[in-house]
Structure formats: structure tokens, C-alpha cells
Amino acid sequence: MLTDKMQDALNEQINAEIYSAYLYYAMEAYFQSQGLSGCAHWMQWQAIEEMSHGHKFVSFVNERGGRVKLAPIAGPPTEWDSPLAAFEAAYQHEVKVSALINKLVDLAQAERDHATHNFLQWFVGEQVEEEASAGGVVQKLKLAAASPGGLFMVDRELGQRPISLPPELTGGGKQ
């Protein structure tokens, strides 16, 4: 059973995960408007992944006998000064989400909620991957800035991001 404090914090994280998806969909639309379909593809799949994270939290709260309480989702930005600026914003957003996950881990420890602490460990590792992925694109875009056509090479590479829906969104994972 979740404490009220833990339940409230997990509900806030559900909101943050869905906002993340909303942000990445906004970035996808921005990149489409700039003719950068590879960047748009990368953001589309990032948004889908974030929705799956939200789904994991919803399932967990329900499994623990808690109550999911959805809150309004804030509108994300829709314009960036450049593709680099958009990916820098994505990277900074992932750093923020990592801090949110860390706060949840701290709360689970303080509440002596071992089940939630165990559940959150997957997200701790996932955030390392998320920061590295977005940060890697930032570095590539910075390097590409010095090369004519570099942006288009990075865009083409990002369009190759493998497409694999998370099991929880295909019926193959816990629901």
C-alpha cells in the first residue's frame, strides 16, 4: 500500500512523464516544419517512449492499491532558435526528469517503501540512458555546425533510430 505522500509524488511524476511526451511531440512538429524529418522521427519515438514511462507509473500506482489522479498538462514551447537549441532543451529536460526521479527515490527511502524504491531503480538507469542519448545528439550538432551539410548528415542519422514500441504499449508487458 502506498502512503498518501508517495501516491501524490507518483501522480506528479505521471504528469511529468506525460508532459515529457507532449514536449517531444512539440519538438517533432517543430522539426517537421523545418524540413528535418530525421530529427522529427527521433522526437516522435522519444515521445512514445515517454508515454510508456507514464504508463509504467500508472500501472504501478494501481498495482499498489493507490489512486491515479491525472492533472492538467502544461503547454510546452513550440519554437526553438535552432535544431541545436531544441536538442539542448531536450537534454536539459532529461536532466530535470533525472532530478525528479532522484527525489522520488529519496522519498521512497524516507517512507521505507521498498517496493517503490525497487520500481524506481529501472527509471534511475533509464535516465542515464536518456541524458546520454540527448547529450550525444547535442554534441553531434555542435560538431556538425562547422561543416556545410553537417546538419543534414545528423538529420539522416537520427532518422535511422530503431523503431520498437515498448512492450507495455503493445500488450506484451505488464498492464
Predicted confidence (pLDDT) per residue in 15-26, tens digit: 999 999 999 999
Look up residue 17 and give its amino acid: E
Q: How confident is the model at residue 4 (pLDDT cuts 50, 70, 90)?
A: very high
Q: Are 32 and 40 in contact (CB under 8 A)?
A: yes
Q: Which pTM value belongs to this model? A: 0.92
Q: Phi and psi (nearest 5°) for 109?
A: -65, -45
CATH number of 4-170: 1.20.1260.10
Q: Are 106 and 5 in contact (CB under 8 A)?
A: no
Average pLDDT, the chain: 94
Q: Percent of the chain at pLDDT above 70?
A: 94
* Secondary structure letter of residue 133 according to DSSP: H
Q: pLDDT digits over 94-139, tens only?
A: 999 999 999 999 999 999 999 999 999 999 999 999 999 999 999 9
Residue 12: pLDDT over 90: yes
Q: Are 123 and 9 in contact (CB under 8 A)?
A: no
Q: pLDDT digits over 88-102, tens only?
A: 999 999 999 999 999
Q: Are 2 and 66 in contact (CB under 8 A)?
A: yes
CA atoms of 135 and 132, how far apart (whole Å): 5
Would you state the pLDDT for residue 175?
43
Which candidate, 12, 4, 166, 8, places its Cα nearest to that of 99? 12
Domain extents for the chain?
4-170
Residue 46: pLDDT over 60: yes
CA atoms of 21 and 48, how far apart (whole Å): 7
